[in-house]
Amino acid sequence: MKQYIVLTIIGILLLGITENSNAWDSTASKYYPLTVGNTWSYRHNNFAQFSCFPYTYYNFIVSIDSLVNRPNGKRYYKFSNGVLRRIDSASMNVYTYNGTGECLFDSLLSRKNDTMRICSFNTSFINDTSMVTFQGVPRKTKKNQKYIIGDFHHILMYGIGFYYEIACEGGGYNRTLNGAIINGVQFGAILGLNSGNEIIPENVSLSQNYPNPFNPTTHFGFRVAKFGLVRLSVYDVLGKEIQLLVNEELKPGSYEFEWDAVDYPSGVYYYKLKVETSQGDVFTDTKKMVLIK
């Protein structure tokens, strides 16, 4: 009798272990690696009204900064832009918390032609599972297309996560990945705006880039004393704007930007800061930098 009881208990324990090990799919989870500290850098394009052609762009950084609990009893990863998401360990579905409850964002176990109902869209489907080369490495992707007029879809990349998103119906935006830091490993370039707002500056200022000369990346910082529209651009030696780095309203603080000139030839370049406050004040400053390859 004792042997039977022992064997029964062992059998129950093994069954429990088997069920738990099958609940979490470690392969599927790599399509959306949620870990505090993971960071993604995107090129963000805004589309003009009534158009799907980009008219401004800037670099956008988002990272996972914490884990938070919500009234529904679930724990979510909080992104720096306020988005809350979690992966359900049983279904491998990704859910978004929108303030009053959660809705389905994607399914990591989905296959081509699978359909699902996600958030504000009635239906979406996986219409592409092709390979995409990122930083010289071919990676599997899943494209989730929303059923709606216009173009609304996002792409998840294996080992990286959120790779691309577009929301366009007579205006909107898209985002394309520049680089990411996943579990402490960097892929590509982190091009974006980093802010440290511990002390509010007394004046607007633009710092000299460093290093200078540089190859192929350099950093330059600026300070904003009042809330306003900030525009930061790079120009070639002929005065032609070749890249718009920042074009958005920023709160007072100190900011640092990294520019990657890997696609540009050696030479002299200029970067210009323009700040327009709601009080009508306008500040501009331009500095020179040298790229040597």
pLDDT digit string, tens, across residues 145-159: 987 667 889 999 999
Least confident of 188-202, 227-241, 276-290: 188-202
What was the pLDDT predicted at 18? 34
Torsion of CA 241, 246, 250, 253, to 10 degrees: -100
Is 50 exceeded by the pLDDT of residue 17?
A: no
Is 50 exceeded by the pLDDT of residue 35?
A: yes
**Residue 201 pLDDT class (50, 70, 90 cuts):** low
What was the pLDDT predicted at 113? 92
Asked if 285 and 206 count as a contact pair (C-beta separation under 8 A), the reply is yes
Give the C-alpha distances (Å, rounded to integers) separating 33 from 55, 73, 77, 227: 32, 22, 11, 35
Q: What is the pLDDT of residues 67-115, one digit of tens each?
A: 999 999 999 999 988 899 999 999 999 999 987 889 999 999 999 999 9
Give the C-alpha distances (Å, rounded to integers) separating 94 from 74, 179, 243: 12, 22, 35
114, two tokens: 């699978």
Cβ neighbours, 10 Å, residue 144: 23
Percentage of the residues of the chain whose pLDDT score is greater than 90? 44
What was the pLDDT predicted at 199? 54
Q: Greater confidence, 135 or 176?
A: 176
Average pLDDT taken over every residue of the chain: 83
Percentage of the residues of the chain whose pLDDT score is greater than 70? 88
* Burial of 285: CB neighbours in 10 Å, binned 0-12, 13-18, 19+: middle
Amino acid at 185: V
Mean pLDDT of 12-31: 61
What was the pLDDT predicted at 148? 63
Strands (E), 183-281: 185-188, 193-196, 205-206, 217-224, 228-235, 241-250, 253-260, 267-277
Mean pLDDT of 49-69: 81
**Residue 8 pLDDT class (50, 70, 90 cuts):** very low
Nearest CA to 141 out of 124, 153, 152 is that of 153
Count Cα neighbours of 176 within 13 Å in the Cβ-side half-sphere.
8
What was the pLDDT predicted at 283? 93
pTM: 0.62
